[in-house]
Structure formats: structure tokens, C-alpha cells
Chain A
């Protein structure tokens, strides 16, 4: 009885801020400007399939890079001394305390044709690099902004891992490589999966990063939705339809991801 009463505020919170907006998105997606039921919005999403593909592609690349860079880093942190661990984890989180917009804006000044990096390169006598307004810059922005979300769940799984299990594998004859492949990696899968989820989802739907670092040529779904609500192409119905399709696509991606985990309760990772 008591627990039920205690959950009432959460129930209200969830309905106002999650369920109602979701229903609104669905209603908008299936109606036209005058409020009549229509499928034309959903059908219109098809013409943006290239944007969808680009978003998923760039998001996937950014996720893969975050995993490849983040895993070794998380591993090193989890094997450091207690004091070093807290310092390193704080360094990973430090950029997150700065404003997202500011961080991305800082990358603009670094990557510009006459930005800091190119100035340094030019002063060393090398030809300038065109970096801003490329897909690469967008991926860089994604990795930079979201990699902490990869490192933290990986770190928490690796730090909690029972060291005696690793010793048991060594004891049974496994060298370092085998210990990693046969014990550490499989046991850290919950962290890998939640890390991938936490990087991939925001990376796919981002719009600030592509807008600031990608220029007009690297339009992503986020920008598309932004344009429908706040931009020149004002059309909330189409925007809602795009959001809905994006949501379904992400759910499918996550569903495929979770197939790699055999569903056994292992604990450790934050699951979304």
C-alpha cells in the first residue's frame, strides 16, 4: 500500500513529461495541418532516406571509434591505483561540466581553415588541411562529446570485475591475450552494450554538432527535425513523423544490439 502511494508522484511525472508528449508526437505524425488523419507525413519521410542513412552511418562510426578508444582507456583506469582512478575519472567527466554548445563551438575555432590547428600546420611549412564542414569533423564532434558515456559504463563494469577470476584464468594457463578474450571481454559485455547505446542514440539524433561542424552538406536527422519545428520549413507534422521513424529505427538497432548479449543476468552495466 505504502509503496503504491509513494509511486504516485513518479506516475504523474512520467505521464506529464513522457507519455503525453509521446502521444502528441504520434498524433502530430498522423494528422495534417487541419487535424485530419493522414499517412502522407510518414510517406514523406521516405524522401529523406539519405539523411537517415548518413545519420546512422556517422553515428555508427562515432560509436565504433568511441568504443575502440574508450575501452582501453576504461581498462587502464580500472587497473590504476585508487587515487589515480578517481583523478582519471574526473578528467573524463570534466568536459561534460562545460556547456555543450561552448565545447562544440571551441572545436569550430580549432578546425577552421584559418583556425588554430591550420595556423600551426602552416607555420610548420605544411599545406593547410580542410577540416571544418566535413563528415570527419562531425564524427570528431560526436566522439568528443559522447565518449564519456562510453567510458563510464565500461569503467564501472571493469572496476567491479572480480580480480580472482582473471587470476583463475592465468592459473589455468591462459596468457594475457587469452585472458582478455575469454574472460575480461565477455564479462564486460554489459558495459560495452550500455556504452554503445549511450553513445549511438544521442549521436544519431544530434543536430548542434552537424550544424556547427558539418556545414550544410552534412545534414543529419536532428537538423531535419530542428528545421521542421524551429526553422524555415516549419512543419511540425512532418517533424513528428520523422521523430517517430527515428525512434522506431533506434529501437530496432537496440533490439539487434541486445541479441549479442545472451540475456543472462550478469549485472554491472547500466542498461537503457
Chain B
């Protein structure tokens, strides 16, 4: 059994009737995904109380894929999920399931199941009855129900919890009951609405691994909603980055991290130094008052661009050895590395380095051509400044506060 050499803790998939067992290749983690889309959203638009939540939204998800909808709160990711689940009716546009239009199909007739944000377990039923709920609704025999519930509880490591009161379980246990309950109906697609949001960090990581394994074992298409970029990168086959009801970028986790399409994606996924630049010619970009060799091409001559440099890609040297030099303004120990903020001609760069640098020291910054990523200008250009602050909210508050101070001085 493939499960044996992968050392999976859930080695019970042979007991799960009705699941397509996915073939794990020798590389271990590659999954054969269906060619045809299982879920298609076409030209979806939704607004609540006159406020637009999704605008002309198009998304196609293949069978067996682990897709993550990633974005800040209010970006429309949960609404997208609820449209697939049938809980929100789009104002316009169509939803297709296996090529069939399901716009008007109520939630209880859709072959998708949901793991809700706060689990939404039935408080009046015990663990067994919670998991059995879907099968009872579908009129399965008691014998089949008993077998499936047993197998599912085994799968989520809740053996012996069948008669427990769900209200007395820990968050992680409730979470796993919710997973078992959602899988009991053998859904074609599983919708997960920030399912790990309420768990602490360690448990989160365990559950990430468990969910990923379950997805690989069962071959069910997962649509996972989160605002946690690290979670998205570590679990997904495909990441859909969303903001303001629109898709900003779709791609593999590597694509999204290494080749962000615009300043929003670069800022939202990981840490980024985003600078204004000009593309002089192919492979030559100017920013921070200097010209750099890079690996990007295909821009028009003198085209203004956004330049992204990841903090971990910057090498620190003596100031005279580099074109870019500046003063260290703050150093924070992060465990794996130091987070160093350097002021280079007024722009605050973030550098992640395992070497300590003293505050106030002058250092030089060295960039290799493939450390520099060039993006076309977008509506997000200029919104994400340097590392004077980490968040926009703090930025805005500081600005507003400075403004108020100025006004008060004027009055005096």
C-alpha cells in the first residue's frame, strides 16, 4: 500500500467505500487531476446592500485539485465559497458543476459539503450522530452508517469518541468531527471556510498536514478559504489571490511567491520591498538611483514598473562594496533570522539575514539579477510603501495623527 511507505497516520483509506483512491506517484506528492473542470464560475457578480462583493468573477476548478482562495477579509472569498455551496445566489452569472448549470439548485441537493468556520456541529447530537447526520438524511442503512462513521472517526484519529458530547470537545477535536461529518456523504467537492482559524499555531500545522493527507487520499476537490498566506502556500495545488472582489492572480504557490503579478500580491504573500523603477531595456532596470541587471524582459523602453525584492534575497556587505548603502535603523530577532530595517536614501528596506547587524551601522546591500522581480504598474502601485510600518492601517493612523497634530499647532 502506498500509504505504508509514506508513513501516513491515516492508513484506513481502504476502508472508505466509494472513494476514488488517488495514485501517488514515486515522487510522492503529485496527483493526477481531472482534465475537465468540476466547478466553474462564470461572470459572477454579487452585491450585498448595494455594495459590490464580487465583480465579473471567473474561476474554473479541476477535479482533484486543492484550490485555496486567499485574500484579506472582505475580499469576497467566503462569498465565492457560499455561492458554490448554494447559500448565496449570485446577482448575475452562472455556476456549473461537472458542466451542469446549478444556479437554482438548493444547498441540500448539491454534491458538495462544507466545513464551516466555527464547525457548526449539532450541539444536541453526540459525535456519532453528528457524523451520521448526512447519511441518515440520505436513508443509508444502519449497518452502513455504523461502518462509515467508524472508518471516518478512525481517519481523523477520534476512535472511541463516538458517544461523546460535542460541546465538551476541544477546538481541534470539534474540527475533526466537522471534517468527518463533511466527508460522510462522499462529496465530490469539499468547501472549507477558514477551518483552522480558531486553532492555535501548533494544532494548525498538524491540521494542515492532516487535511492535505485526507485530500490526497480521497481525491476530493478541496476549495479552501483562508487569509493566512503561509497556510495557502503550504497546502495548495493552486492559489487564487483575491482582493476587492476580483482575482489578482491564479497560480501554483511557487508562481505566486516568485512571480507576483502586482504590488498587492507581492505585499500580501510574504514580505516584499516594493520600489518604483524604470525598465530601460530587456534585462536592465533602474531603481533606487541605480541600474541593475535583471532576468525580466518584454517591457516597452523606459516603462515605469514596480520592482519587488524579497528580504531574504538581499546580501549584506561592507558599504563601499555596494551601490546601495544605508544605515540600520532597527534589528529584530525572529528566531530563524534577524529582521533588519535599513534606511537607503529615505527608503526603508527590510532584510532578513542570519547575521546580526548593529543599529546605526552603515551597511551595503547586494542584489543578484534573479533576486529582482519586475511587475507592471497596477492600481496597487505606490500603495505599499517601504518598511517604516508593516501594515497599511498603522500607516494611515500615523498619517492621520500627524495631520491632527499639525492642525492643532495651526490653531495655537
Binding site for B on A (CB under 8 A): 162, 164-165, 167-175, 178, 182-183, 186-187, 264, 266
Task: Check A183–B122 contact: CB distance below 8 A.
Answer: yes
How far does the alpha carbon of A186 sit from the alpha carbon of B125 in the complex, in Å? 10
Q: List 28 A-B contacts (CB under 8 A).
A: A167-B87, A167-B107, A167-B120, A168-B120, A168-B122, A169-B133, A170-B86, A170-B87, A170-B106, A171-B107, A171-B113, A171-B114, A171-B182, A172-B108, A172-B134, A172-B184, A173-B108, A173-B137, A173-B185, A175-B108, A178-B137, A182-B137, A183-B122, A183-B124, A187-B123, A264-B124, A266-B123, A266-B124
| A266: min CB distance to chain B, Å | 7
How far does the alpha carbon of A230 sit from the alpha carbon of B390 in the complex, in Å? 80
How far does the alpha carbon of A76 sit from the alpha carbon of B259 in the complex, in Å? 52
- Chain A residues with CB under 8 Å of B108's CB are 170-175
What per-residue 1/0 map shows which CB atoms of B83-112 lie under 8 Å from chain A? 001110000000000000000001111001
Task: Check B137–A187 contact: CB distance below 8 A.
Answer: no
| A83: min CB distance to chain B, Å | 14
Task: Check A172–B165 contact: CB distance below 8 A.
Answer: no
Chain B, 101-147, CB within 8 A of any chain A CB: 106-109, 112-114, 116-118, 120-124, 133-134, 137-138
| B84: min CB distance to chain A, Å | 11
Task: Check B133–A182 contact: CB distance below 8 A.
Answer: yes
Task: Check B117–A164 contact: CB distance below 8 A.
Answer: yes
- Chain A residues with CB under 8 Å of B182's CB are 171-172
Which A residue's beta carbon lies closest to that of B118?
A: A164
- Chain A residues with CB under 8 Å of B109's CB are 173
Q: With A174-B108, A174-B137, A264-B165 as given contacts, are A169 and B114 in contact (CB-CB < 8 Å)?
A: no
B181 proximal to A (CB < 8 A)? yes
- Chain B residues with CB under 8 Å of A168's CB are 114, 116, 120-122, 181
- Chain B residues with CB under 8 Å of A186's CB are 124
- For the complex of A and B, list the 4 residue pairs with the smallest distance between their C-beta atoms, beginning with the closest: A172-B134, A164-B120, A168-B120, A170-B107
How far does the alpha carbon of A41 sit from the alpha carbon of B108 in the complex, in Å? 62
A178-B137, A182-B133 are known; give 11 further A-B pairs, CB within 8 A: A165-B120, A167-B114, A168-B122, A171-B107, A171-B112, A171-B113, A172-B134, A172-B185, A173-B137, A182-B137, A183-B124
The residue in A162, A170, A174 that gathers the most chain B C-beta atoms within 10 A of its C-beta is A170
- Chain A residues with CB under 8 Å of B114's CB are 167-168, 171
How far does the alpha carbon of A175 sit from the alpha carbon of B124 in the complex, in Å? 19
- Chain A residues with CB under 8 Å of B113's CB are 171-172
Task: Check B134–A165 contact: CB distance below 8 A.
Answer: no
- Chain B residues with CB under 8 Å of A172's CB are 108, 113, 133-134, 137, 181-182, 184-185
| B341: min CB distance to chain A, Å | 42
Interface residues on B, range: 20 to 34
How far does the alpha carbon of A168 sit from the alpha carbon of B121 in the complex, in Å? 8
The residue in B85, B117, B124 that gathers the most chain A C-beta atoms within 10 A of its C-beta is B124
- Chain A residues with CB under 8 Å of B134's CB are 172-173
How far does the alpha carbon of A172 sit from the alpha carbon of B87 in the complex, in Å? 13
- Chain B residues with CB under 8 Å of A187's CB are 123-124
What per-residue 1/0 map shows which CB atoms of B60-72 lie under 8 Å from chain A? 0000000000000
| B106: min CB distance to chain A, Å | 7
Which A residue's beta carbon lies closest to that of B85?
A: A171
How far does the alpha carbon of A94 sit from the alpha carbon of B124 in the complex, in Å? 34
How far does the alpha carbon of A172 sit from the alpha carbon of B133 in the complex, in Å? 7
- Chain B residues with CB under 8 Å of A164's CB are 116-118, 120
How far does the alpha carbon of A266 sit from the alpha carbon of B123 in the complex, in Å? 8
How far does the alpha carbon of A178 sit from the alpha carbon of B165 in the complex, in Å? 22
Chain B, 241-276, CB within 8 A of any chain A CB: none
| A53: min CB distance to chain B, Å | 35
- Chain B residues with CB under 8 Å of A167's CB are 87, 107, 114, 116, 120
| A166: min CB distance to chain B, Å | 9
How far does the alpha carbon of A182 sit from the alpha carbon of B123 in the complex, in Å? 12
Chain B, 151-198, CB within 8 A of any chain A CB: 165, 181-182, 184-185
Which B residue's beta carbon lies closest to that of A171?
A: B114
How far does the alpha carbon of A71 sit from the alpha carbon of B138 in the complex, in Å? 28
How far does the alpha carbon of A182 sit from the alpha carbon of B135 in the complex, in Å? 13
| A72: min CB distance to chain B, Å | 21
How far does the alpha carbon of A205 sit from the alpha carbon of B282 in the complex, in Å? 94
| B119: min CB distance to chain A, Å | 8
- Chain A residues with CB under 8 Å of B107's CB are 167, 170-171
How far does the alpha carbon of A173 sit from the alpha carbon of B133 in the complex, in Å? 9
- Chain A residues with CB under 8 Å of B138's CB are 173
- Chain A residues with CB under 8 Å of B185's CB are 172-173
Which B residue's beta carbon lies closest to that of A267?
A: B123
| B122: min CB distance to chain A, Å | 6
How far does the alpha carbon of A170 sit from the alpha carbon of B184 in the complex, in Å? 14
Q: With A174-B108, A178-B137, A182-B133 as given contacts, are A169 and B122 in contact (CB-CB < 8 Å)?
A: yes
How far does the alpha carbon of A168 sit from the alpha carbon of B85 in the complex, in Å? 10
How far does the alpha carbon of A25 sit from the alpha carbon of B83 in the complex, in Å? 64
| B380: min CB distance to chain A, Å | 33
- Chain A residues with CB under 8 Å of B118's CB are 162, 164
- Chain B residues with CB under 8 Å of A175's CB are 106, 108
Which B residue's beta carbon lies closest to that of A178?
A: B137
| B86: min CB distance to chain A, Å | 8
| B24: min CB distance to chain A, Å | 29
Which B residue's beta carbon lies closest to that of A186?
A: B124
